[in-house]
Structure formats: structure tokens, C-alpha cells
Amino acid sequence: AKDAAYGYEVKWDGIRALLYCDHGHSTLQGRNFTDFTPRYPELRELSRALGARRLIFDGEVVAFDEQGRPSFERLQTRMHLASDSAVRRRMRDTPVTYVIFDLLYLDGHSTLPLTYEQRRELLDALELQGPAWRTPRYHRGEGRALLDATAELGVEGIVAKKLDCPYEPGRRVAGWIKVKNVMVQDVVIGGWTPGAGGRSGRLGAIAVGVMEDGGIVYAGKVGT
């Protein structure tokens, strides 16, 4: 019964952002009101495609790898470019997609008081699928099946959202629960490094390796 009270979405490994569309003009806003609009110009086409409509979306800017999986490492190459020309060059190499998962405003009316299920119904009716944007399906119930599917695909996890939950801006929504896939690896501890700064005088990180072809191959440092 509890499972049926939630809608489940894939957890996208990207950058959370609100997209404001107003009569063909768009503004992409990150956390702390950061203006991301110049950084991802391919997303402006969504506002142009919507024409004179006025909408606010909640979603995530995502870069996908060759296998179609979200890759934060690829996205990082787009995050801190200093000039418009650098952005245009990187657009060709590493395109991004705005993955839309919520609708906050629709043609003069706030949708914040509506339930998640009602907001998703309005969002899905817009049929937003384009060259740099998409609205993935959500699943009513069946959370375990979706989590297992994301683990097989190597995706970070899922988000469970209560179907009767309104949208609460500016705070962590109690009705949204992140469920991450945890990867497990057997490693060999080969040494350690001393801590620095606030961790001075204590263990900083351990150096680990993995067994490969009868020997140990260095795999990096672990500090958590």
C-alpha cells in the first residue's frame, strides 16, 4: 500500500535548475539564483517551440555518455566555460539535455498547490520531447523494479515522490525520498596519507588497490 502511494522517477546525475519560459524567451536558474542561461544555449529552443506560452519547469541539466547514461563527468566540461565561443565549441562535443520532471506554473496559474500526480498529468499533456529536452515517464508504484533497472544500467538511483504531495519551493520536500544504488568493491589497503587543515594530525585518506592479473593495481584514495 505504501509503494502505491508514490510515483518513482530515475535520479538524474546532473545540475538541478528551473527553466522560465515567457513568450519565446527563457531563463535557466540554478540554486542560489545563479543564471545558467548563457551556459546552456541549446535549451533556449524549448521556449521558442512553446511560442507565447508562459511556464516554469523544474528539472535537471544532464549530459549523456555514448551508452545513453547520465555522466556528471561529461557535464563538468560545460560548467565553467568563460566565453560564448568556448560554449559554442563545447556544445558540439558535449550536448546537454534538460530533463523535465515538474511543472510549477502554467499560463497564468501557479501549479504549486496541486498534488504531484496532478502536476505530472499537466506536464505529460505538454508532450515535451525535443532535441535538447525530454519529459521521462514516472512510475506509479513498482519502486523496486525501477531501482533494479537503474542498477543494471549503471544509473545513480531513483526518487520516490508522494502522489498527493504539493510543491514546496525553497525547502527540502518531505514527500520526496532519494534512493541511491550503492556499488560495492573489494579492495586492498596499501597505505595512508596524513590529514591536512582541519584534519591535521589525523588520518587523511587510505590508498587502495584491486587484485588484477595476480597483482595489485592502484585504485585511488578513499577519505570517507
Q: What is the pLDDT of residues 102-127, one digit of tens each?
A: 999 999 999 999 999 999 999 999 99
N-terminal to C-terminal alpha carbon distance within the chain = 36
Cα dihedral: 11, 13, 16, 22 (round 10): -90
- The whole-number pLDDT of residue 80 equals 85
| Segments of 30-181 assigned E as strands | 54-62, 97-106, 109-110, 133-134, 139-140, 157-162, 176-180
Query: Can you read off the three cell numbers belonging to residue 218?
Result: 592502484
Q: How far apart are CA 138 and CA 216, in angstroms?
A: 43
The DSSP result for 16-60, as a single string, is EEEEEEETTEEEEE-GGG-B-GGG-GGGHHHHHHHTT-EEEEEEE
For the chain, percent of residues with pLDDT exceeding 70: 95
Which stretch of DSSP H or E encloses residue 7?
strand 6-11
List phi, psi (to 5°) of 38. -70, -20
Instruction: Select which of 11, 162, 178, 221 is catalytic.
Output: 11
Task: Match 597483482 to its residue by C-alpha cell.
Answer: 215
Q: What is the pTM of this model?
A: 0.78
pLDDT average, residue stretch 117-146: 94
Q: What is the pLDDT of residues 75-105, one digit of tens each?
A: 999 998 878 888 988 888 899 999 999 999 9
pLDDT band at 198 (very low <50, low <70, confident <90, very high): low
Task: State yes or no: pLDDT of 1 exceeds 60.
Answer: no
11 is catalytic: yes
In whole angstroms, what separates CA 140 from the centre of its chain?
20
